[in-house]
């Protein structure tokens, strides 16, 4: 139901991320299957030392395409002839912000950014 509300523009609290961690040290994530986050799957901010390994991030893009066809009347390939939707998914896999972060052996199927490395600009904002 969450995605139906998103397609209709009726999510009153916006789009949550599946996991957000801020200001951590020496984190480790392994052996987890993250599925169908409404927005980024993992947002890791201000981290010094993280080891992200041996897990999966999966988005059912074809399920979103079916919603597209159902709610917006898209043809057999979805609206505008797309065969795989990228909007409104924006379901990045991992968005790391920090230093000393190692990411390896992750299976990411999301049709968006798998790993979107962020950095802090001179004003102190993440870009």
What is the per-residue DSSP string for 53-122? Answer: EEEEEE--HHHHHHHHHHHH--BTTBGGG-SS--TTT---SEEEEEEEEEEEEEEEE-SS-SB--B-B-T
pLDDT tens, residue by residue, 4-38: 777 677 888 777 888 999 999 999 999 999 988 88
pTM for this predicted structure: 0.75
Q: What is the pLDDT of residue 90?
A: 73
């Amino acid at each position: 139901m969450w995605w139906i509300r998103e397609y209709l523009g009726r999510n009153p609290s916006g789009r949550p991320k599946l996991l957000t961690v801020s200001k951590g040290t020496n984190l480790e994530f392994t052996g987890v299957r993250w599925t169908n986050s409404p927005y980024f799957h993992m947002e890791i901010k201000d981290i010094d030392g993280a080891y992200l390994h041996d897990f999966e991030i999966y988005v059912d893009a074809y399920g979103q395409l079916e919603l597209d066809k159902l709610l917006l009347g898209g043809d057999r390939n979805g609206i505008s002839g797309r065969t795989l939707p990228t909007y409104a998914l924006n379901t990045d896999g991992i968005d790391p912000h920090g230093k000393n972060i190692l990411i390896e052996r992750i299976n990411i199927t999301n049709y968006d950014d798998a790993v979107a490395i962020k950095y802090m600009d001179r004003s102190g904002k993440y870009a």
